[in-house]
Amino acid sequence: MPDLTSLTDCQTPIVAVVIPTFNEVENVPVLVDRLQSVLRGLNWELIFVDDDSPDGTAARVRAIACQDPRVRLIQRIGRRGLSSACIEGMLATSAPYIAVIDADLQHDESLLPTMLEKLRKEPLDMVIGSRYVAGGEVGDWDAQRASMSRVATRIGLHLIKADLKDPMSGFFMLRAEVLQECMRELSGVGYKILLDLFATYPRPLRFLELPYQFRARQSGESKLDEAVLWEYLLMLIQKWVGPMIPARFIAFSLIGGSGVFVHMLVLWLSFKGLGTSFLVGQSAAALVAMTTNFFLNNLFTYSDMRLRGWDMLRGWLSFVAACSVGALANVGIASWIFQTHSLWVLSALAGILVGAVWNYAVTAVYTWKR
Binding site for Mn ion (CB under 5 A): 104, 106
Instruction: Give me the least distance between CB of 286 and ligand GDD, in Å please.
Output: 34
Question: How many angstroms separate the CA atoms of 31 and 25, rounded?
Answer: 11
With contacts defined by CB under 6 A, name the span among 62-70, 222-230, 295-303, 332-340 that binds ligand GDD.
222-230
Q: Which amino acid, one-letter code, is at 365?
A: V
Told to check if 191 binds ligand GDD by CB under 6 A, we report yes
Give the number of residues in contact with ligand GDD, rule: CB under 6 A: 24
Instruction: Give which of ligand GDD, Mn ion, none residue 82 binds (C-beta under 5 to 8 Å, depending on kind).
Output: ligand GDD
Task: Put the strands of the sheet holding 126-130 in their side by side order.
Answer: 71-75, 44-50, 15-21, 97-100, 172-175, 126-130, 207-211
**Strands 44-50 and 97-100, how do they pair?**
unpaired
Smallest CA-to-CA distance from 64 within 91, 93, 40, 35 is with 35
Alpha-carbon torsion angle 8, 9, 15, 18, nearest 10: 160
Told to check if 307 binds ligand GDD by CB under 6 A, we report no
Query: For residue 107, which phi and psi values (nearest 5 degrees)?
Result: -90, 155
With contacts defined by CB under 6 A, name the span among 96-104, 119-127, 263-271, 339-347 that binds ligand GDD.
96-104
Give the Å distances, CA to CA, from 109 to 37, 62, 172, 201, 298: 10, 21, 10, 26, 36
Instruction: Give me the least distance between CB of 105 and Mn ion, in Å please.
Output: 8
Told to check if 82 binds ligand GDD by CB under 6 A, we report yes
Instruction: Give me the least distance between CB of 182 and ligand GDD, in Å please.
Output: 18
Contact in structure between 172 and 100 (CB atoms under 8 Å): yes
Rg (CA), the chain: 24
Instruction: Give me the least distance between CB of 106 and Mn ion, in Å please.
Output: 4
With contacts defined by CB under 6 A, name the span among 49-57, 90-98, 262-270, 317-325 that binds ligand GDD.
49-57
Question: How many angstroms separate the CA atoms of 287 and 326, rounded?
Answer: 13
With contacts defined by CB under 6 A, name the span among 3-11, 48-56, 255-263, 271-279 that binds ligand GDD.
48-56
Contact in structure between 223 and 22 (CB atoms under 8 Å): yes
Told to check if 167 binds ligand GDD by CB under 6 A, we report no
CA 117 centroid distance within chain: 30
Instruction: Give which of Mn ion, ligand GDD, none residue 85 binds (C-beta under 5 to 8 Å, depending on kind).
Output: ligand GDD
Told to check if 169 binds ligand GDD by CB under 6 A, we report yes
Instruction: Give which of Mn ion, ligand GDD, none residue 51 binds (C-beta under 5 to 8 Å, depending on kind).
Output: ligand GDD
Q: Which is nearer to ligand GDD, 78 or 332 (CB)?
A: 78
Instruction: Give me the least distance between CB of 130 and ligand GDD, in Å please.
Output: 9
Told to check if 171 binds ligand GDD by CB under 6 A, we report yes
Count Cβ atoms below 10 Å from residue 111 Cβ, excluding itself: 23
| Residue 66 CB contacts under 8 Å (≥ 6 apart), including other chains | none
Q: Which is nearer to Mn ion, 150 or 206 (CB)?
A: 150
Told to check if 224 binds ligand GDD by CB under 6 A, we report yes
Chain contacts with ligand GDD (rule: CB under 6 A):
20-22, 24, 49-51, 80-82, 85, 102-104, 106, 168-171, 191, 214, 222-224
